[in-house]
């Protein structure tokens, strides 16, 4: 099994090029849709620590992108 070895900068650039550019309105609509689906599927279940960590990382990443 071959693995590609690159620098952190290479992977960051590759990830950024794979993501579509979305308008603020599109991101808000996606967020609303995801929250709605999540609420329907997990309404009575508590959020796990792993999910909280993922949500916090996503929030920090979105905040950092807005600042840039």
Distance CA 4, CA 36 (A): 38
Residue 27 lies in a domain: yes
- pLDDT (tens digit, 9 = 90+) per residue, 3-16? 444 445 555 555 55
pLDDT value of position 15: 54
Q: Which two tokens stand for residue 40?
A: 């329907």
At 38, the pLDDT band (50, 70, 90 cuts) reads confident
More confident site: 60 or 46:
60
Q: DSSP label at 42?
A: S
Residue 2 lies in a domain: no
Q: Which domain covers residue 63, as residue numbers?
A: 8-67
Residue 3 lies in a domain: no
Residue 35 lies in a domain: yes
Evaluate whether 56 touches 64 at the Cβ level (below 8 Å): no
Residue 50 lies in a domain: yes
More confident site: 38 or 25:
25
At 58, the pLDDT band (50, 70, 90 cuts) reads very high
Q: Into how many domains does the chain fold?
A: 1
With a CB cutoff of 8 Å and minimum separation 6, the contacts of 47 are 55
Residue 51 lies in a domain: yes
């Amino acid at each position: 099994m071959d693995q590609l070895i690159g620098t952190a900068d290479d992977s960051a650039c590759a990830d950024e090029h794979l993501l579509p550019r979305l308008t603020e309105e599109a991101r808000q609509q996606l967020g609303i849709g995801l929250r709605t689906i999540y609420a329907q599927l997990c309404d009575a279940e508590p959020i796990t620590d792993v999910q909280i960590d993922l949500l916090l990382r996503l929030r920090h990443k979105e905040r950092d992108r807005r600042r840039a």
